Amino acid sequence: MPRIRGKAKTAEILTLEEAVKKYMHDGIVCAFSGFTGFNRNPVAFAWETVRQGFKDLHVLDRHGSVCTWLLNAVGAIKIQETDWMGWGEMAGKLDVNLERNYKRGQMILEDYSHGAMALRFLAGAIGSPFIPYYAPLGSDLYNPDYDALGRAGMRDGQNPRVARKKFIQMEEPFYGDGDVVLLPAARPELAIIHVAQAGDKGTARWRGVGTIDKEIAFACDKVVVIAEEIVPESDLRKQPESNQVPYFVVDCIVEQPWGAYPSAVPFYYDYDAPFMRLMDAASRSEEELKKWLDEWVYGPKTWEDMIDKLGVKRLLDLKADSVTGYSTRILRGKKPAPRMKMPLSVARSGY
Amino acid sequence: MAKSMEELIELIDRIPDEPAKPGEFILPELMAIAVAHEVRDDDIVFAGTGLPMVGIMTANMLNAPHALLIYESGICDGKTMHVPMSVCDQRAANMSSTLGGLVDTFGYYLQQGFVTLGFLGGAAIDKYGGVNVTSIGDYFQPSHRFTGSGGNSDIGTMARRTAFIILQEKRRFVERNEYTTTPGWWCWDFKTREWKPKKEVWKGTPFADCGPCAVVTNMGVYRFDDQGIIYLDSHHPGVTVDQIKENCGFELNVSRVTGETRHPTYRELFVLREFVDPELIFLPAKSEYPAAIQSLIDG
Model confidence at B176, pLDDT cuts 50, 70, 90, reads very high
Mean pLDDT of the region A187-201: 98
Q: Which one is predicted more confidently, A88 or A225? A: A225
* pLDDT value of position B5: 86
Pick among B105, B147, B279 to test the A interface (most A CBs inside 10 A): B147
- All residues at 6 or more sequence positions from B73 whose CB lies less than 8 Å from its CB, including other chains: A35, A39, A209, A211, B86, B87, B88, B92, B101, B102, B105
Q: Please say if the pLDDT value at position A31 is more than 90.
A: yes
Name the percent of chain A lying above pLDDT 70: 97
Residues in chain A with CB shorter than 8 Å from the CB of B181 are 139-141
**Catalytic member of B7, B10, B18, B72:** B72
Residues in chain A with CB shorter than 8 Å from the CB of B50 are 91-92
Q: Please say if the pLDDT value at position A151 is more than 70.
A: yes
Q: Is there a contact between B157 and A137 if contact means CB atoms under 8 Å apart?
A: yes
Residues in chain A with CB shorter than 8 Å from the CB of B9 are 344, 347-348
Q: Is there a contact between A135 and B208 if contact means CB atoms under 8 Å apart?
A: no
For the domain with range A12-255, which CATH number is right: 3.40.1080.10, 2.10.77.10, 3.30.420.40, 3.20.20.70? 3.40.1080.10
What mean pLDDT, rounded, does chain A reach?
Answer: 95
Q: Please say if the pLDDT value at position B267 is more than 70.
A: yes
Residue B26 DSSP code: -
Residue of B nearest to A265 (CA): B90
Pick among A38, A322, A344 to test the B interface (most B CBs inside 10 A): A344
pLDDT tens, B71-92? 999 999 999 999 999 999 999 9
* pLDDT value of position A7: 73
* pLDDT value of position A350: 87
Q: Please say if the pLDDT value at position B128 is more than 80.
A: yes
Smallest CA–CA separation between B258 and chain A, in Å? 31
Pick among A171, A209, A328 to test the B interface (most B CBs inside 10 A): A209
Residues in chain B with CB shorter than 8 Å from the CB of A343 are 79-81, 94-95
CB pairs under 8 A between A and B: 276
pLDDT tens, B22-75? 999 999 999 999 999 999 999 999 988 888 999 999 999 999 999 999 999 999
* Residue A256: burial class (beta carbons within 10 Å; 0-12, 13-18, 19+): buried
pLDDT tens, B98-112? 999 999 999 999 999
**What separation, in Å, do the N-terminal and C-terminal C-alpha atoms of chain A show?**
42
Q: Name beta bridge partners: A222.
A: A190
Mean pLDDT of the region A255-283: 96
Residue of B nearest to A215 (CA): B103
* CA–CA separation, B275 and B247 (whole Å): 34
Smallest CA–CA separation between A18 and chain B, in Å? 30
Q: Is there a contact between A35 and B88 if contact means CB atoms under 8 Å apart?
A: yes
Q: Is there a contact between B99 and A208 if contact means CB atoms under 8 Å apart?
A: yes
* pLDDT value of position B277: 96
* pLDDT value of position A89: 60
Smallest CA–CA separation between B202 and chain A, in Å? 7
Residues in chain B with CB shorter than 8 Å from the CB of A92 are 49-50, 121, 147
Model confidence at B255, pLDDT cuts 50, 70, 90, reads very high
Q: Is there a contact between B183 and A139 if contact means CB atoms under 8 Å apart?
A: yes
Smallest CA–CA separation between A188 and chain B, in Å? 18
DSSP A290-316: HHHHIIIIISSSSHHHHHHHH-HHHHH
Q: CA dist B1 to A202, B298, B299, Å?
A: 52, 9, 11
Smallest CA–CA separation between B33 and chain A, in Å? 16
Strands (E), A85-167: 108-111, 130-133
Which of A84, A214, A273 minimises the CB distance to B147? Answer: A84
Q: Is there a contact between A349 and B66 if contact means CB atoms under 8 Å apart?
A: yes
Residues for chain B: how many in total? 299
Name the percent of chain B lying above pLDDT 90: 95
Q: Is there a contact between B154 and A116 if contact means CB atoms under 8 Å apart?
A: yes
| Number of other residues whose CB lies within 10 A of the CB of residue A203 | 25
Q: Is there a contact between B101 and A213 if contact means CB atoms under 8 Å apart?
A: yes
Print the SS3 string covering B191-236: CCCEEEEHHHHCCCCCCCCCEEEEEEECCEEEEECCCCCEEEEEEC
Q: Please say if the pLDDT value at position A1 is more than 60.
A: no
Q: CA dist B200 to A8, A171, B195, Å?
A: 50, 13, 10
Q: Please say if the pLDDT value at position A90 is more than 70.
A: no
pLDDT tens, B204-241? 999 999 999 999 999 999 999 999 999 999 999 999 99
Q: What is the phi/psi pair of residue B247, to 5°? A: -100, 30
Q: Is there a contact between A135 and B158 if contact means CB atoms under 8 Å apart?
A: yes
3-class secondary structure, A27: coil
* pLDDT value of position B285: 92
Model confidence at A69, pLDDT cuts 50, 70, 90, reads very high
* pLDDT value of position A30: 98
Q: CA dist B93 to A208, A241, B75, Å?
A: 7, 19, 6
Which of B101, B145, B148 minimises the CB distance to A209? Answer: B101
Which of A38, A113, A144 minimises the CB distance to B85? Answer: A38
Q: Please say if the pLDDT value at position A299 is more than 70.
A: yes
Residue of A nearest to B143 (CA): A103
Model confidence at A41, pLDDT cuts 50, 70, 90, reads very high
Q: Is there a contact between B102 and A211 if contact means CB atoms under 8 Å apart?
A: yes
ipTM given for this complex: 0.96
- Active-site annotation holds for B72: yes
Residues in chain B with CB shorter than 8 Å from the CB of A133 are 111
Buried (b) or exposed (e) across A40-57, using 16+ Cβ within 10 A?
A: bbbbbbbbbbbbeebeeb
Q: Is there a contact between B79 and A351 if contact means CB atoms under 8 Å apart?
A: yes
Q: Is there a contact between A92 and B49 if contact means CB atoms under 8 Å apart?
A: yes
Q: Which one is predicted more confidently, B48 or A216? A: A216
Q: Name beta bridge partners: B221.
A: B216, B234
Which of A118, A209, A346 minimises the CB distance to B75? Answer: A209
Q: Is there a contact between A122 and B103 if contact means CB atoms under 8 Å apart?
A: yes
* pLDDT value of position A91: 60
Choice among A1-5, A97-101, A310-314, B57-61 with the minimum mean pLDDT: A1-5
What mean pLDDT, rounded, does chain B reach?
Answer: 96
Q: Is there a contact between B191 and A169 if contact means CB atoms under 8 Å apart?
A: yes
Model confidence at B1, pLDDT cuts 50, 70, 90, reads low
Residues in chain B with CB shorter than 8 Å from the CB of A266 are 90, 93
* pLDDT value of position A2: 61
Residue of A nearest to B153 (CA): A136
Q: Please say if the pLDDT value at position B201 is more than 60.
A: yes
Residues in chain A with CB shorter than 8 Å from the CB of B208 are 178
- All CATH 3.40.1080.10 domain ranges of chain A, comma separated, are 12-255
Assigned CATH for B20-287:
3.40.1080.10
Q: Please say if the pLDDT value at position A6 is more than 80.
A: no
Residues in chain B with CB shorter than 8 Å from the CB of A39 are 73, 86, 88-90
Residues in chain B with CB shorter than 8 Å from the CB of A102 are 145
